[in-house]
Amino acid sequence: HSIHGRAPAIATGLATSRRDLSVWVVTGDGDALSIGGNHLIHALRRNVNLKILLFNNRIYGLTKGQYSPTSEVGKITKSTPMGSLDAPFNPVSLAIGAEATFVARTVDSDRKHLTSVLRQAADHPGTALVEIYQNCNIFNDGAFEALKDKERAQEAVIRLEHGQPIRFGADNSKGVVRDPATGDLTVVPVTPDNEHQILIHDAHTTSPTTAFALSRLADPDTLHHTPIGVLRSTRRPVYDTLMNEQLDTAVEQHGKGDLSQLLAGNDTWTVETS
């Protein structure tokens, strides 16, 4: 419970001072990416020990249906009666760009997948960002239907598994390869000739380049080729640990401070006159 958008700031204080807790932020696309966008990117770059669940329904639900930073271009809402003009954020791309060490995506109605992703997030030391595609049956119904309908999902969803070739579709007939000319990732029909070129998913690689390219595969209109699962899971020093090490060093060098004495005490500065 905190002010709209500010959960990562409150949670940073909590996670750094109460290291016995597992601290989870539950947020929305409006909360995390509009009013709270700044707090979100700095929590990610600091790698605070937080788990952030970003429920993305591509709308402001609570305030009754205004467009959000993940709404598609041209979305007609009460606040955009002629269609929204803004290009949307891709939260997974944004998180990877903000130096996040753990970035995943899952879907609200797929309990098995959601559970597996949340367990991996829980085990991650540092900030874990999990985007959860969520329906809003009142203000944005059917937002992710292409990923939920059994038949359509086969073509639309790419289930990433670390160490496995990135294949999907009926009979795993499609795969992701790197285009040698551009270095970008593309989807191709798998044939005996190109089977060995299908990319093997490596969530643990330090470079964010391929995870970012994977996050860009989805077509924003049809949602075809939407990767779900853990895109990136890497290790970097955790902010809480570093901060507490500094505090220990400060105590060693200067002794333990007394906050109430500092607040109620004398001036901590001197004004020199010449």
Binding positions for Mg ion, rule: CB under 5 A: 28-29, 57, 61
Q: Which of 62, 87, 250, 262 binds ligand TPP (CB under 6 A)?
A: 62
Binding of ligand TPP by 120 (CB under 6 A):
no
**Closest CB 35 distance from ligand TPP, rounded Å:** 6
Is 49:125 a contact under the CB 8 Å cutoff?
yes
* CA–centroid distance for 168 within its chain: 23
Interaction with ligand TPP in 13-42: which residues (CB under 6 A)? Answer: 28-31, 35
Name which of 86 and 99 has its Cβ closer to Mg ion. 86
Binding of ligand TPP by 133 (CB under 6 A):
no
Binding of ligand TPP by 110 (CB under 6 A):
no
Q: Which of 57, 71, 106, 233 binds ligand TPP (CB under 6 A)?
A: 57
3-state helix, strand, coil in the chain (%, to 5): 35, 20, 45
Lookup result for tokens 């753990």 = 102
**Closest CB 183 distance from Mg ion, rounded Å:** 34
Query: Which of the listed partners (ligand TPP, Mg ion, none) does 4 bind, with a CB threshold of 5 to 8 Å by partner kind?
Result: ligand TPP
**Closest CB 100 distance from Mg ion, rounded Å:** 20
Return all residues near 44 (Cβ < 8 A) that are at least 6 apart: 95, 98, 99, 100, 127, 129
In 44-127, DSSP assigns E strands to 50-56, 102-107
Query: Which of the listed partners (ligand TPP, Mg ion, none) does 140 bind, with a CB threshold of 5 to 8 Å by partner kind?
Result: none
Whole-angstrom distance, CA of residue 245 vs CA of residue 142:
48
Binding of ligand TPP by 91 (CB under 6 A):
no
Q: Hey, how many other C-beta atoms are within 10 angstroms of the C-beta on 197?
A: 15
Where do the H-state alpha helices sit in 168-208? none
Whole-angstrom distance, CA of residue 244 vs CA of residue 254:
15
How many residues lie near ligand TPP (CB under 6 A)? 15
Instruction: Please report, as ranges, the residues that interact with ligand TPP according to CB under 6 A.
Output: 3-4, 28-31, 35, 55, 57, 59-63, 68
